[in-house]
């Protein structure tokens, strides 16, 4: 089923021929939209979606208005993304209805959604890095002409970008663009494809603080043009900064919708958690004076692998009873730093010391045997064997302990006992041990890896983005565990993009940029903006 206005605009587009994304057409679209301001552009009524064993959306009602930023707030697993994927035609729904422009719409595929003017920016971008901005956008232009006129396309893109605050060089290679600009290209794609409803799924996750502000400015411009924006997030601060209307979801249901101007943090938290607010994790206060150095890097450089970046002259020390936070935009050497700490990468220069011994030449096995644990940036890809069960993955964490008869057999009872004990100790909800871990949700998987690694009571813990993908409850529990490890004399190297988390937990902060440590601070010496700029500005005349 096709909405007439969308059909008209596509007809106009086909006629406009070579000038695919002219400014005039966008304006026309805007007039069309704003003429109906006050009426919702999209109405979801009683939308229900069941997955095996769970109701992801339970009779959800939602109205999206043109010219508004509508934030969908909720814990991970509350059903925000599912709901939007239903609207985008990614999932089918079991009950309920969707109306676009007052007419019932059957969105059964993303193609249908795009025809209806619904566009989505995913967490993981769908750009082709080897192509230019213009080429990437051109892929989304409906009715692309046989011959591409790169110049006129670039010109109209530039015009559209200027209008909407999405300034990106159309001839630039996407690969060379910073993440923030890549996101702009994603938005441009949607605008060119005549989307009127723009859905942003956790759009700020990959952005530095000033880039987030840039995104909110873009939201403002798009609002003025009458676009309806949906912003999925679980971060309170961002919701309060940009939303006109906030819908809070909890366990698949809408627990309330409030106007952005009337919302308070306290009220939103109550809606999110139904009154039972999770405990605050401990502040970053050192319990005792930090002890001996347990992990130390002295002037270490590493070789760059592939598209990665090598570390250069890194000096870093983690003492026992200390959490050292590493701030930085990902891709600036975080992966290399953790690989180095875990013994996966070799130093081309400098020394690595673990618990006072020179560990420069040690491999991953020896490092791990010394009591080093880790949570990787990508738990499914780097931490577990996806098709193995939870018990098997747990056994892999410490094979020798569970071996019987010299390794001819494995004591699975012991493994299961330890898994249960670790989950209980961390205050995580227990998981089935015989289930292949690839069937777990992101949060469950994160908990599984944390339980395996922390169950060994490591002396040194290398945590990459430990709370990414966790709901607030589990995230709080995880932070509490890290703090607990510190108070027992362990040392934590905490790599995170979440500045709140870094400030909250760290005893010391270092900033990593282009493989170098560009600053070392105590958290109280620094504010978010200084650190944000330190993370992103190129200081040494590079480029």
The residues of the shown chain that bind other proteins, judged by CB under 8 A, are 342, 344, 363-369, 374, 376, 381-388, 392, 395-397, 399-400, 402-403, 407-410
Q: Tell me the closest approach of the beta carbon of residue 462 to other proteins, in angstroms.
A: 10
Q: Which is nearer to other proteins, 72 or 437 (CB)?
A: 437
Residue 461, H or E segment? strand 460-464
Least separation in angstroms between residue 381's CB and other proteins is 6
How many CB atoms are closer than 10 A to CB 265? 11
In the bound state with other proteins, the residue whose beta carbon lies nearer, of 215 and 445, is: 445
Query: Which is it for the CA torsion 259, 264, 270, 272, positive or negative?
Result: positive
Rounded Cα–Cα distance for residues 372 and 365 (Å) = 10
Q: Least Å distance between CB 353 and other proteins?
A: 19
Instruction: Give the Cβ contact number of residue 166 at 10 Å.
Output: 22
247/338 with CB nearer other proteins: 338
Cβ 497 to other proteins, closest distance in Å? 20
Min dist. Cβ of residue 438 to other proteins (A):
10
* Closest CB 441 distance from other proteins, rounded Å: 18
- Cβ 62 to other proteins shortest distance, Å: 33
Cβ at position 341, least distance to other proteins in Å: 11
293 bridge partner residues: 319
Distance between CA 34 and CA 55 in Å, rounded?
36
Task: List Cβ neighbours of 214 (8 Å cut-off, separation of 6 or more).
Answer: 180
Place of tokens 């814990």: 75
**321 versus 376: smaller Cβ distance to other proteins:** 376
Which CB, 338 or 506, lies closer to other proteins? 338
In angstroms, what is the minimal distance from the CB of 97 to other proteins? 28
| Nearer residue to other proteins within complex by CB, 334 or 392 | 392
Query: Quick one: 4 or 405, whose CB is closer to other proteins?
Result: 405
| Choice between 117 and 343, CB closer to other proteins | 343
Q: Which is nearer to other proteins, 366 or 528 (CB)?
A: 366
SS3 21: coil
Q: Diameter of the chain by CA atoms?
A: 78
Cα separation, 20 vs 144, whole angstroms: 8
Structure tokens at 186: 């994603």
Please report how close the Cβ of residue 404 comes to other proteins at its closest, in angstroms. 9
- Say if CB 335 and CB 310 are below 8 A apart: no
Return the half-sphere exposure (C-beta side, CA atoms, 13 A cut-off) of residue 299. 2
Q: How far apart (Å, rounded) are the C-alpha atoms in residues 298 and 295?
A: 10
Residues 6+ apart with CB under 8 A from 117: 3, 6, 100, 194, 195, 196, 197
Closest CB to other proteins among residues 190, 342: 342
CB 13 within 8 A of CB 143: yes
Render 345-413 in DSSP notation, one character per residue: S--SEEEEEETTEE-TT--HHHHHHTTEEEE-SSIIIIIS-TTSBHHHHHHHTTHHHHEEGGGTEE-HH
Distance CA 202, CA 475 (A): 17
Report residue 305 as tokens: 């692998």
């Amino acid at each position: 089923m096709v909405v007439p206005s969308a059909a008209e605009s596509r007809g106009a587009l086909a006629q406009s021929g070579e000038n695919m994304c002219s400014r005039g057409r966008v304006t026309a679209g805007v007039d069309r939209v704003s003429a109906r301001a006050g009426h919702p552009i999209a109405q979801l009524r009683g939308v229900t979606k069941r997955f095996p064993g769970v109701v992801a959306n339970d009779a959800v009602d939602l109205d999206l208005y043109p010219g508004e930023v509508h934030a969908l707030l909720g814990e991970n697993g509350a059903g925000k993304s599912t709901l939007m994927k239903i609207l985008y035609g990614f999932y089918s729904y079991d009950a309920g209805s969707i109306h676009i422009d007052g007419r019932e719409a059957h969105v059964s595929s993303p193609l249908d959604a795009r025809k209806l003017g619904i566009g989505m920016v995913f967490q993981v971008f769908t750009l082709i890095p080897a192509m230019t901005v213009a080429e990437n956008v051109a892929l989304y232009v409906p009715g692309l002409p046989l011959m591409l006129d790169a110049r006129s396309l670039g010109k109209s893109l530039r015009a559209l970008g200027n209008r909407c605050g999405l300034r990106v060089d159309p001839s630039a290679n996407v690969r060379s663009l910073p993440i923030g600009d890549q996101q702009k290209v994603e938005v441009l794609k949607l605008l060119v494809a005549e989307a009127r409803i723009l859905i942003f799924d956790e759009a700020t996750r990959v952005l530095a603080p000033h880039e987030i502000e840039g995104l909110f400015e873009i939201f403002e411009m798009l609002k003025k043009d009458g676009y309806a924006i949906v912003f999925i997030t679980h971060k309170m601060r961002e919701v309060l900064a940009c939303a006109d209307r906030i819908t809070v979801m909890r366990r698949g249901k809408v627990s309330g919708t409030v106007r952005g101007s009337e919302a308070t943090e306290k009220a939103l938290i109550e809606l999110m958690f139904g009154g039972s607010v999770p405990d605050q994790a401990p502040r970053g206060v050192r319990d005792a004076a930090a002890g001996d150095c347990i992990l130390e890097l002295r002037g270490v450089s590493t070789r760059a692998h592939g598209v990665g970046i090598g570390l250069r002259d890194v000096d870093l020390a983690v003492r026992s009873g200390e959490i050292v936070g590493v701030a930085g935009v990902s891709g600036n050497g975080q992966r290399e730093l953790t690989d180095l700490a875990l013994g996966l990468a070799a130093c081309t220069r400098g020394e690595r010391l673990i618990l006072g011994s020179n560990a420069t030449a040690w491999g991953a096995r020896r490092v791990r045997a010394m009591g080093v644990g880790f949570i990787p940036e990508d738990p499914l890809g780097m931490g577990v064997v996806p098709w193995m069960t939870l018990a098997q993955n747990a056994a892999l964490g410490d094979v020798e302990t569970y071996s019987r008869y010299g390794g001819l057999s494995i004591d699975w009872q012991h493994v299961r006992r330890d898994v249960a004990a670790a989950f209980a100790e961390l205050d995580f909800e227990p998981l089935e041990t015989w289930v292949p871990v690839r069937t777990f949700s992101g949060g469950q998987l994160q908990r599984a890896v944390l339980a395996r690694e922390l169950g060994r009571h490591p002396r040194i813990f290398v945590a990459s983005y430990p709370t990414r993908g966790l709901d607030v409850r589990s995230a709080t529990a995880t932070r509490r565990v890290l703090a607990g490890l510190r108070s027992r004399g362990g040392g934590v190297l905490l790599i995170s993009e979440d500045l709140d988390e870094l400030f909250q937990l760290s005893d010391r902060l270092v900033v990593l940029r282009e493989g170098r440590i560009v600053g070392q601070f105590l958290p109280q010496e620094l504010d978010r903006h200084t650190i944000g700029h330190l993370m992103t500005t190129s200081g040494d005349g590079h480029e």
